[in-house]
Chains A and B, each alone.
Chain A
Amino acid sequence: MKYLCLVYLEPDKLHAVADRECAACGQGLRDRGVLLAAEALEPIETATTVRVRNGKMLVTDGPFAETKEQLAGFYLVDAHDLNEAIQIASKIPPAREGSVEVRPVRELNP
């Protein structure tokens, strides 16, 4: 079962955890064979939102909602169940500074 662990941080905490520590966390999970992908993201000011309405593409600057915490990175992991995914999420370093949302991946049913 795949879970996406979304890391949220307040803007002034985006660099609160050293890159070295995040890289080590990712490597540790990769060595255990549970990590499918992980990346850190540039700050929200660099974001662009894309929508398609009535066949027309609408592009806007940033996300609409003013939120205190922003998406700062993600880990896509393969865990046995939610308990294991929560255990993994609790070890992601920015969990100390912000929060990690654990979302089960929905397999598409084409």
Chain B
Amino acid sequence: MNAASPVQDTIATIYESESRRVLATLIRLLGDFDAAEEALHDAFRAALEQWPLEGVPANPRAWLVSTGRFKAIDAGRRRKRFDALDDIGEKADVAFIDTAAWADDESVEDDRLRLIFTCCHPALAADAQVALTLREVCGLTTEEIARAFLTPAPTLAQRIVRAKAKIRDAHIPYEVPSRAELPGRLDAVLRVIYLVFNEGYAASSGEQVTRHDLSAEAIRLGRLLVELLAEPEAQGLLALMLLHDSRRAARTSAEGDVVLLEDQDRSLWNRGQIREGVRLVEQALSSGRPGPYTIQAAIGAVHAEAASTAATDWNEIIGLYDALLRVSPSPIVELNRAVAVAMRDGPAAGLAIVDRLLSGGELRDYRLAHAARGELCRRLGRTSDARFSFERALALTRQGPDRRLIERRLAEVSK
């Protein structure tokens, strides 16, 4: 067989676009993750053998699902001869009755949602949810996930094995949650996606390229979720990720140093991502009661649409932080709000809030609180206070680029 035959190219393209859909459906039909993965491989192996001779079928996805299912039934029967207790064959036989429903578009799209909700089930460990989602929903290999999370591959593989065993042994159902359960379960899915995004976005160690891929993967997951489920907070999260990501090219200098929002070259911001993000925020906001992701995205949209820091509508941003504090109160949100207050009312007004937050104790070891205090003191000309806070911030900062940023500030107030 010729290595670059057109049929093989077609199969590679179909693998790219359909393999996750086929897997999601096979898990439903076979009731088992491992059996479904094996069946998926067998189906594509069969395609590589048969399609060059017989041509590509009219509905490749249906062909792959049906072939995978038969291969699994076969494998189950073969195994049964040796092991009477194995029930894979029985499950596959039950699924056999289900032929009418297994490959129509609607149930296939439901299968993808079932897969996402199952991988992000709150009964699974948080790190296992992330690993399983990237493995099963995104199709990343265990090695790729391990590299991206700077985790040894065997540790990661173990996490995935344990999660699958729990799904099987504790009977975590393969289903989209009911309306009543949806809000809580959706939160878990959104958290996993945002965690993957931040792991790539806040990349401060490891191979930059690999970790950037995680952000792209998270955005893809976000898009998939929005496509499958008309939920405003899913739109809000996708908008938030797009608006953050739109600034990627501007947030590090050629030397790899951090460039703060106010110093960024705004012509480097990705206008396409901003347009899409803003449109999604508007849609999500029109639902009435915006959740935390939507509000954070709205804040990002205000920044994205401003020509400069000075031209930013800080009043609007402070109002959005107030709304965010109402739906998810946290001292970190209060700190961000204090910085916005400093931009609107001057550094003294912001500093008063930051000092109150620091004396509250919760942010005592939060480096950005000390960095913000240092910056506000510097603007007020209180250099020794600024120096004290920057030194405290530096002591709490481990990552190279972030350290260099604080060191530059420290040098400025130490002149």
Contact = CB atoms under 8 A, between A and B. Distances in A.
B123 A1 contact: no
Given A83-B181, A86-B123, A109 B85 contact: yes
A109 B172 CA distance: 22
A55 B123 CA distance: 39
Interface in B35-90: 85
Contacts of B173: 80-83
A82 B171 contact: yes
A15 B169 CA distance: 34
Contact of A82 (B170, B177, B181): B170
Nearest to B169: A104
Interface residues of B, number: 10
Interface residues of A, number: 10
Interface string A73-110: 00000001111001000000000000000101010010
Contacts of A81: 171-173
A80 B172 CA distance: 10
Interface of B is mostly: loop
Interface string B162-205: 00000001111101010001000000000000000000000000
B103 to A, nearest CB: 25
Contacts of A82: 123, 170-173
Nearest to B174: A81
Interface string B123-158: 100000000000000000000000000000000000
A74 to B, nearest CB: 17
Contacts of A83: 172-173, 175, 177, 181
A86 B123 CA distance: 9
Contacts of B172: 81-83
Nearest to A103: B170
A87 to B, nearest CB: 8
Most buried by B among A80, A82, A104, A106: A82
B181 A104 contact: no
B170 A104 contact: yes
B123 to A, nearest CB: 6
Contacts of B181: 83
Contacts of B177: 83
Contacts of A104: 169-171
A81 to B, nearest CB: 4
Given A82-B123, A86-B123, A1 B85 contact: no
A50 B26 CA distance: 47
A28 B173 CA distance: 24
Contacts of A102: 170
Nearest to B167: A82
Nearest to A106: B169
8 contacts: A80-B173, A81-B171, A82-B172, A83-B172, A83-B181, A102-B170, A104-B169, A106-B169
Given A81-B173, A82-B123, 4 more contacts: A80-B173, A86-B123, A102-B170, A106-B169
Interface of A: 1, 80-83, 86, 102, 104, 106, 109
The 9 A-B pairs with the shortest beta carbon distances in the complex, nearest first, are: A81-B173, A81-B171, A104-B170, A82-B170, A82-B172, A1-B171, A82-B171, A83-B173, A104-B169
